[in-house]
Structure 1
Amino acid sequence: MKAIVATRPEPHRVVDDDGNAEPYRPQLSIDDRVALAAAHDVAEEVTAVGIGGDPAKRCVRAALERGADEGLHVAYDPIEEAAGDKYATVLARVAARESPDVVVVGQSSSFAGSEIATFVGEQLDWPAATRVTRLGTPNIDTEVTVDQGELAVQRKLAIGRQEAVVVESPTVLGIDAGYTDPDRAPLSTIVAGQQAEIETVPLEDVAPGESRFSMSVGAATMEDVTPNERWGRGRPPRTGTVEQRIYRMLGRGTDEGTSAGERIDAPPEEAAEQVVDYLRRNELL
Structure 2
Amino acid sequence: MKAIIGVRPAPHRVVDDDGVAEPYRWHLGLEDRVALEAALQQAETTVAVGIGGDAARDCVRSALEAGVDEGLLVSFDPIEELAAEKYATVLARVAARESADALFVGESAPLMGPEVAGLAGETLGWPTASHVTAFDADEVADAELEADELAVQRKLATGRQELLAVSPPAVFGIDSGFANPRRSSLQTAMAGRRAAIRTIALEDVVPDETRFSMSVGNATVEHVRANERWGHGQPPREGGVEERIYRMLGRGSEERGSGDVIDVPPDEAAQRAVDALREADLL
Work out whether the TM-score is over 0.5.
yes
- Structure 1 residues 228, 205: closer, same or farther in 2, change over 3 A? same
The Cα shift of 1:125 comes to 0.6
Distance 1:203 1:141, change over 3 A: closer
C-alpha displacement of 1:181: 1.0
**Shift in Å, 1:114:** 0.5
Q: CA deviation at 1:82?
A: 1.2
| Equivalence for 2:179 | 180
Distance 1:282 1:145, change over 3 A: farther
Deviations 1:1-39 (A, max 9, x none): 111100000001223444343321010000000000000
Q: Equivalent residue for 2:240?
A: none
2-structure distance, mates of 1:143, 1:113: 34
For the 8 Å contact 1:144–1:164, the answer to whether it is kept is: no
Q: Which residue of 1 aligns with 2:19?
A: 19
Distance 2:17 2:191 in 1: 30
1:98 matched to 2:98: yes
- Structure 2: how far apart are the matches of 1:105 and 1:217? 21
Aligned equivalents of 1:216 and 1:145: distance in 2? 45
TM-score (norm 2): 0.79
Structure-2 separation of matches of 1:161 and 1:144: 20
Aligned pair in 2 of structure 1 residues 229, 48: CA closer, same or farther (>3 Å)? same
Q: What pairs up with 1:119-198 in 2 under 5 angstroms? A: 119-136=119-136, 138-140=137-139, 144-198=143-197
C-alpha displacement at 1:169, in angstroms? 0.7
Secondary structure of 1:188's counterpart equals: helix
2:140–2:151 Cα contact (<8 Å) kept: no
State the alpha-carbon separation in 2 of the partners of residues 130 and 141 from structure 1.
Answer: 18
- Give the fraction of aligned pairs with identical amino acids, expressed as a percent: 59
Instruction: Select the structure of larger CA radius of gyration.
Output: 2
SS at match of 2:199: strand
Corresponding residue number in structure 2 for 1:113:
113
Please list every run of 5 or more consecutive structure 2 residues that lacks an aligned counterpart in the other structure.
232-247, 250-273
Deviation, 1:140, is: 4.8
In structure 2, distance between residues paired with 1:226 and 1:142: 62
Residue deviations 1:232-253 (CA, integer Å, cap 9, x gap): 8xxxxxxxxxxxxxxxx99xxx
Quote the residue 1:264 is aligned against. Answer: none
- The answer as to 2:36 corresponding to 1:29 is no
Alpha-carbon contact 1:28-1:59 (below 8 Å) kept: yes
Cα offset, 1:103, TM superposition: 0.4
Rounded to whole Å, the distance in 1 between the matches of 2:17 and 2:186 is 24
Q: CA 1:20–1:139 in 2, change beyond 3 Å: closer, same or farther?
A: farther
What displacement does 1:168 show? 0.7
